[in-house]
Each structure stands twice: as structure tokens, then as C-alpha cells.
Amino acid sequence: MESIQGITDGDPPAPTPKPATTPEQPTITNGTCSPSTHPNIIIAGAGPAGLLLALLLTSPSPISPSSPTPSPPLPIKITILESYPSLDHRLRATQYGVPATRVFAQVPGLLPRIRAASIESFPQICWRRTRGSQRGATDPNNSSSDSNGTGERNDEAGPGKRTGEDHEILVTVDLSVIKDHEERMVILPLNKLTEIMYGMLTERKAVGQADVEILFEHEVLGVGQAIGDQHAEGKAWVDVRVKGDGSRKEHDRGEGGAGGGEVEHMKFEERIQRFEASYIIGCDGSRSAVRKSLFGHHWPGVTFDCHLSVQNVYYPGFETHNWTGGNYLIDPEYWGLIANRGKGGLWRVTYGDNTVGLTDAEYELRREKAFEVMLPGHPKAGEYKVEQTDHFRTHNRCVDSMRVGRVLLVGDAAHVNNPWGGYGCMSAVLDAGGLAQCLRGLLEGKAGEEILDLYAEVRREKFLQYVDRRSRMNYERVRNEDPGRVVREDKLMGILRGLEGDAEGTKEFLLKTSSIEYDFTQHYR
């Protein structure tokens, strides 16, 4: 989940993409990444999608049913351009489903490192009603409140009636049935995941296993490519504002901007520099400069009428009241997700506020009330510790095309969705995995340029047909004013309730190939 504040609502007419031009800039010096004997690729963005794509392209190809023989790493040069002075430490994704785990496993050594850093057990995901009193009541001290934060299920409660106890569990998915399976869900804050991937890339470069350069404080301004020019055929470029020497800056990783804290800058004379490559890959997130260079501000979709507050929280009451795993809270006012996200008792509390337009400070003044209603035991301020907070507006949007010539888009640079259900980063991971397969097939002579069109078409279709629709349904579910009706009428809730007590059925459901996955190696020749 990334912030995309500032994007206007509504969908203006789509402009014609501008692949052959680049913004006019002052004096441009030549970059170090120019076409050579080996193909070279520029990746805009040192986030999870960009780092993972680089790892996949510098790994031996994985064995698959359609590609049973592994091939060595590609002989390519990769340059990653990152605008910020360090990695992004905002509070974003924390869970990555089975489809993402399968992609992580394609990078030798990556999944074991992730497992070592993540929590060992994530036993369940459940949906709870936030308040068990009369609909519309807001008193967390109501006498009907459940003292231990659990409560018996009351499926027959209807609108206007008493609806069970506070925080009553409505539906549960038992994840313990795959607790030892190699493809089980990964639970790890995104900033820790990107640190692991960054570390692996720098290690590979240090020992000569990968020709990868990661340049921080290199802000992408625009992209371009030569079309119809036989002397420049096969060339694309990106113009960059160079704001530093390219090295990663160490800093305080507490609260702060996207870099995660204040960075002390040495005096540096900025310049505009052009980098050339065979392909430009936009992995630069929801505010993608690559996407804007192609499509301007046209990005079809919606902005939701809510504000999200996301915080890391330490609160002993979670353990005291037997909360575990992930807990979706259904309520028209106090809705969100509370989940165990790290070692040492770290929990992530994400909740929506139906009021938009306030300052971050004003939203944080409203947190005490929200926590009192939503957390088990109804704690007062001082009974929990908030370690870090970030604020977001959420959107569901998708570009008209994920490929324009030699420029391709991945993850949030192409499409974004609200965080309910964990589809955001998982979709980016699947995009990266799919594009790696397509580029490998092309560069190894196993596929033609048309496989890049296939990537753009398939991954966009997967988003529009499945991710967009399902994430909207997940969002509407947690904001529902009648949790009882959700249990009775929601299709997903019906499926999950039917699986309760069925270990084998649940295991099959959790491990099945998802409709958002796709194996592009089946198109190799």
C-alpha cells in the first residue's frame, strides 16, 4: 500500500501515449548506462518490485513444467534509479500470499532469509464485528461488551438488533493446516523485505555474480525512445535529476518521509543526466514518473472516500485477550485490520476514518477513540505504545497499457488498489515474476517481442478482472453496517464457513493456483 495523495478524482480523456519524446531539459550529460554488447535494463525505483525484478533477472531460471531445464543468469547490465537517498521505510504491506511466496522461491536463497526474519506462526485470519451493541452505539463500555474480546457467534442477529459481543469472531480461516508448507504465506513488514532483497543484490554485485548498479538520489524526470530511426533503433532513455553521488545514505529509520527519517546532505551540485538502455522498466510506485511521462495524469479509477491510519503498535492486551493472526473488523465507523506483524509483540493496526481532508495531526488526535473501540479490552491511552504512524488515501486505478514500446510498467506504477486482502504488493510481485519470465524468454531467444505485449495484456487483465474487483469487495465488506448480513449473504464468507473444520479442504483452498497467477514460460518456443 502506498500513498497517492494529490491525484484528482475522475477520469479525463485519455491522451495519446508519448513514447518517442522526452521532456525538454537543460544541458544533459551522458549517463554510464548506454547500449553495449549485452542488453542493459534500467529499472526506475528501488522498491520491492524493482529489487525483486533485478534479483529474478540475475538468478538462474527456475524449473517449471513448461521450462524443465534451468538456464544461467542473463548476461545483462541492470541500473536501478531511486529518487530517495535510501530505501522506503513507510508502513505499507506486511503479508504476501501463496502466489507471492512462489515467486520469492524462484530467487535462490531469498525465501529462507525472509522466513528467518518473519514471525514463525500466523495461525489464522478472522473477521470480527467491532461493536456488539445496538447498531450505531459507540460506547466501548456498554454493559453487553465481552470481557475477554472473543464471544460466541450469533449468526441470526439482524439490523437494529443486538448483534453479539464486542469483537465477536464471525468467520475464521485456519492457516495452521499449512503452517509447515514451503509455500505458506509470508508475514514481514515491507521495509524489512526490501532490506533483504537490497542486501542480496549488493552481495551478488560484490562477488561478481550480477552486474547491477543501484543509484540513490537519482530522480527520474521522463522517458523516451527512438521510433522509426534506423540509427537509434533499439534505444530507450531516461532523463534523471542527479541529486547525490548515488550512494545510499544512512539515517534514522523512525518516523519521517519516504526515506524514513532525516538525512544529512553534503553539498552537491545537481545536474540532469541521460541514461540509455535497451528497456526501461517503471517500478517507481504509485507516483510513477515513468507512467506520467507516458500518460500524463490520466490514470483511470477511483479514490475512496476515506482516510487510512497505519501504525505499529505494542499492546499486551492482544495476548491477554487471545488475539492472534489477522483480524478484520467490520463496522460502518470503526473498520480495519489488526494483525500480528513482527517478532517481539509487534502488531500492525490499520483503520479507516470516514472523514477526509484533515491534517495528519488531527487524525492522530482521533486515534485514542478508535483504539478504545477497536482494540481488545478497550484500552485507554497509555496502555499501548505506538511506534510509528503513516497516513494514506487509497485508490483503485489502472493504466490503459502496461507497455509502450521499450517502456514497461510493473506494480503500483501501473495499478493500485486498496489494501484489504493484501492484493497490492502481491500483484506487484506477480508482475515482476511475469516480466522476468518474458524478458528472459526474449533475451535468450525463446520468444519474440510479442511476449512483452502478452505480459502487458495478461497482467493488466488479471488486475482488472480479479484484483480490482476483489479488493473493492473486501473494502465494502469491512465497512458494512450489518456484520450479521455479511456472514449470511457474502459469497466469500459462505465459502470460508463451509471450510471450517475441514482441514484438507482448507489446505486445498489455500494452496490452489490463484486466478491472478500466470506462467509466461508456456509461450516459449
Domains, the chain, in order of start with CATH, read 28-94+189-300+396-473 (3.50.50.60), 124-185+305-392+480-511 (3.30.70.2450)
Average pLDDT on 226-230 reads: 63
What is the pLDDT at residue 156? 42
At what angle are helices 491-499 and 503-511 packed, to 10 degrees?
130
Q: Which percentage of the chain shows pLDDT scores above 90?
A: 73
**What is each CA distance from 303 to 156, 257, 267, 336, in whole angstroms?**
34, 22, 39, 17
Confidence label for 91 from pLDDT (cuts 50, 70 and 90): confident
What is the pLDDT at residue 71? 75
Average pLDDT on 98-115 reads: 96
Average pLDDT on 80-100 reads: 93
What is the pLDDT at residue 14? 39
Q: Is the dihedral angle over the CA atoms 51, 53, 55, 57 positive or is it negative?
A: negative
Task: Strand 407-409: give its sheet, edge to edge.
Answer: 211-215, 77-81, 40-44, 279-282, 407-409, 403-404
Yes or no: say if 441 and 523 are a contact pair by the CB < 8 Å rule. Answer: yes
Task: Using the structure block, give the residue that is written with the C-alpha cell 449470511.
Answer: 488
Rounded to 10 degrees, what is the CA torsion of 491, 495, 498, 504? 180
What is the pLDDT at residue 485? 94
Confidence label for 72 from pLDDT (cuts 50, 70 and 90): confident
pLDDT over 80 at 237, yes or no:
yes
Q: Name residues whose C-beta falls within 8 Å of residue 433's C-beta, 6 or more positions apart in sequence.
A: 52, 56, 103, 106
What is the pLDDT at residue 360? 96
Burial level of 34, CB count in 10 A (0-12/13-18/19+)?
middle
Confidence label for 457 from pLDDT (cuts 50, 70 and 90): very high
Cα separation, 455 vs 103, whole angstroms: 16
Yes or no: say if 201 and 56 are a contact pair by the CB < 8 Å rule. Answer: no
**Cell numbers that stand for 333 in this block:** 465507523
Mean pLDDT lowest among 88-92, 376-380, 397-401: 88-92
The residues that bridge with 258 in the sheet, in sequence order, are none
**Helices (runs of H) and strands (runs of E) counted in the chain:** 14, 22
Task: Using the structure block, give the residue that is written with the C-alpha cell 537490497.
Answer: 198
At what angle are helices 423-443 and 450-462 packed, to 10 degrees?
170
